[in-house]
Amino acid sequence: MKLKTCENIEIATTTFIGILQQAAQAATPKRHPLSLASNLPSDIKRLVAIKRTARSKWQETYAPDDRRLFNNASNKLKAALHEL
């Protein structure tokens, strides 16, 4: 394909972009919707949320008190899961 005129360049770039988009769509794995039904009790979900919050805070500050809170939340969650 000759690229001597502006029109030829526009056609070539449009064609190239279309081919590139098709290749990207073909290479991207399909998304499967997550299952909304959860078998976990609400107290386990609450402990997971507490642990995530504590971990986030500890990773921001790296303070020993925040690490202690994270470890405490993690151990409580592990114990609850073990009982379940």
Using an 8 Å Cβ cutoff, are 71 and 49 in contact?
no
CB neighbour list of residue 80: distance below 8 Å, 6 or more residues apart: 43, 44, 47
pLDDT value at residue 77: 96
pLDDT value at residue 70: 97
Using an 8 Å Cβ cutoff, are 50 and 73 in contact?
yes
Q: Where are the domains of the chain?
A: 39-84
Using one digit for the tens of pLDDT, what is the confidence trace for 13-72? 999 999 999 999 999 998 887 766 678 899 999 999 999 999 999 999 999 999 999 999
